[in-house]
Chain A
Amino acid sequence: MTEAEIIKTVNGFLVEEFEVDEAKITPEANLKETLELDSLDYVDLVVVIESNFGFKVKGEDFTTIHTFSDFYNYCYKKVQEKEVA
């Protein structure tokens, strides 16, 4: 998947599954604050990532993800690793 495809997929499931206003999604916006994530929501984020990209996020990985841009980069890197493997 290209980076653009990753961004499109991520934004798609955030709008659809997490009912986020698409206008609020910008690369610099804070992921947790924009999505109003609580501890339960992180579990659902793990589920949508697995179903869309086929890899399982580890809880500790979220500690380094702050912005949407961080999130896109993280997903892209993981998908790349998976594709290489």
Chain B
Amino acid sequence: MNRVVITGIGAWSCLGKTLDEVKESLFTGKSGIIFDPARKEMGYRSALTGFVERPQLKGLLDRRQRIGMAEPAEYAYMATLEALKVAGIEPDFMDKNEVGIIYGNDSVAGATIEANDIVRAKKDTTLLGSGAIFQTMNCTATMNLSTIFKLKGINYTLGAACASGSHSIGMGYLMIKWGLQQQVICGGTQEINNYTFGAFDGLSAFSIKEDEPGKASKPFDKDRDGLIPSGGAATVILESLESAQKRGATILAEVLGYGFSSNGEHISNSSVNGQTRSLAMALRESNIQAKEVDYINAHATSTPGGDRVEAQAICSIFGEHNTPVSSTKSMTGHECWMAGASEIVYSTLMMQNDFIAPNINFENPDEDSRKLNIIAETKKANLTTILSNSFGFGGTNSTLIIKKFT
């Protein structure tokens, strides 16, 4: 079995477009949430959203490379470009080795709706152009990135709702652990256009604290009233320890273990039992005890029901150890398909820079969150072992544990 390490990270996020910007936002507790009037005009109940800039790819990529890229692929490209740079992986290396890609994504609503609008108006599918097919498939990110970077290893998109990014890292980890791959580009990407979140908004799942966007996401707080949709992309370069050492790469962290479970219950409600099984499996697979975890990056999205269940699940395993917990979604909003990957990037930045990012807007606990050690202000801490939770609709749960490399 191979040991699996992280040698590159990158993010295109509402907290910043470079790792330095993201680190600074995490440290200072800066929110990336805005009020978007266009959503109100479209009939959204909540106009709150993470703000992510569309990257300008002209000049970076030629026309043929760009034309099939929908928004998720654009974000994924930018995050991956940065992660590969951090990892020191050059095009020549990718050309000569079987580097893989497993990336989380679960929608291309924007590109799909825009394409169908053209067909409705023109009554002619040819007038969609050649890029539409590659934009409207859910694997738009992996299809385009594998072509651009000339990847020759495993190549697929993983769709698992809001745990997509986390599971993609888990699957990349297993591929390398079992010796099937030496390097895998993992990550998650989330479109953020105004077509994407209508159905989710329709469930009244989003916060309507629109007066102060930066204060609306309140994971674990007793006055939380819903999540805030967000997006962008995050990339994590996984590599076997042998490959990383052979290349002389800087090792940012080691992936110790991956736990997962399915609730087997309700399509949208969380489950203490399901989440607890995922947490326990991650600890078991990592061969560590709960007390060895220095920090938990919670899934907590700021919904009344979801945060309550996660608090109970964390408490059932970590309660006696008073493990520090925060949800970076208090700053980012819910990055959905991207979240599991971005939160590994955020956690790695905390590990590298010796701090715990705050669970901003946490003012008053409820009866479940009062049993957790929630970090509401930035805290200096030497973090050796971090656990990151991601849960999704359909009852899919994923838990990753990373450790400082020694």
Q: Is B130 in contact with A41, judged by CB distance below 8 angstroms?
A: yes
Q: Is A19 in contact with B126, judged by CB distance below 8 angstroms?
A: no
Please indicate the chain A residues that have their CB under 8 angstroms from the CB of B57 in the complex. none
Find residues 30-74 in chain A having any chain B CB closer than 8 Å to their own CB.
Answer: 38, 40-41, 43-44, 46-47, 50, 56
Residue B96, interface by CB 8 Å: no
Find residues 117-154 in chain B having any chain A CB closer than 8 Å to their own CB.
Answer: 122, 124, 126-131
B125 to chain A, nearest CB (A): 10
Please indicate the chain B residues that have their CB under 8 angstroms from the CB of A46 in the complex. 126-127
Q: Is B129 in contact with A44, judged by CB distance below 8 angstroms?
A: yes
Q: How far apart sit A67 and B46, CA to CA, in the bound complex (Å)?
A: 55
Residue from A19, A47, A50, A56 within 8 A of B63 (CB atoms): A19
Q: Is A18 in contact with B126, judged by CB distance below 8 angstroms?
A: no
Q: Which label, helix, strand, loop or mixed, suits the secondary structure of the B interface?
A: helix
Q: How far apart sit A46 and B127, CA to CA, in the bound complex (Å)?
A: 7
Residue of B nearest to A39 (CB): B130
Residue from B62, B64, B127 within 8 A of A47 (CB atoms): B127
A54 to chain B, nearest CB (A): 11
Residue from A17, A38, A41, A56 within 8 A of B126 (CB atoms): A56
Q: Which label, helix, strand, loop or mixed, suits the secondary structure of the A interface?
A: helix
Q: Is B67 in contact with A19, judged by CB distance below 8 angstroms?
A: no
Q: Is B63 in contact with A17, judged by CB distance below 8 angstroms?
A: yes
Q: How far apart sit A44 and B128, CA to CA, in the bound complex (Å)?
A: 8
Please indicate the chain B residues that have their CB under 8 angstroms from the CB of A47 in the complex. 126-129
Q: How far apart sit A59 and B35, CA to CA, in the bound complex (Å)?
A: 47
* Inter-chain contact total with CB atoms closer than 8 Å: 27
A72 to chain B, nearest CB (A): 22
B131 to chain A, nearest CB (A): 8
A21 to chain B, nearest CB (A): 12
Residue of B nearest to A51 (CB): B127
Q: How far apart sit A38 and B64, CA to CA, in the bound complex (Å)?
A: 10
Given the known inter-chain contacts A44-B67, A56-B124, please indicate yes or no for A19 contacting B129, CB distance below 8 A: no
Residue from A18, A38, A43, A56 within 8 A of B129 (CB atoms): A43
Q: Is A40 in contact with B126, judged by CB distance below 8 angstroms?
A: no
A26 to chain B, nearest CB (A): 21
Given the known inter-chain contacts A17-B63, A19-B62, A19-B63, please indicate yes or no for A43 contacting B124, CB distance below 8 A: no
Residue of A nearest to B124 (CB): A56
**Contact code string B22-65 (vs A, CB < 8 Å = 1, else 0):** 00000000000000000000000000000000000000001110
Please indicate the chain A residues that have their CB under 8 angstroms from the CB of B63 in the complex. 17-19
Q: Is B124 in contact with A40, judged by CB distance below 8 angstroms?
A: no
Q: How far apart sit A78 and B156, CA to CA, in the bound complex (Å)?
A: 44
Residue from B62, B127, B130 within 8 A of A40 (CB atoms): B130
Residue of B nearest to A46 (CB): B126
Please indicate the chain B residues that have their CB under 8 angstroms from the CB of A50 in the complex. 122, 127
Q: How far apart sit A38 and B67, CA to CA, in the bound complex (Å)?
A: 14
Q: How far apart sit A50 and B128, CA to CA, in the bound complex (Å)?
A: 11
Q: How far apart sit A43 and B133, CA to CA, in the bound complex (Å)?
A: 12
Q: Is A44 in contact with B124, judged by CB distance below 8 angstroms?
A: no
A56 to chain B, nearest CB (A): 7
The 4 residue pairs across chains A and B that have the minimum distance between CB atoms: A40-B130, A43-B130, A47-B129, A19-B63
Contacts A/B (CB < 8 Å), 7 sampled: A17-B63, A19-B63, A43-B129, A44-B131, A46-B127, A50-B127, A56-B127
Taking beta carbons and an 8 Å cutoff, which residues of A are in contact with B? 17-19, 38, 40-41, 43-44, 46-47, 50, 56
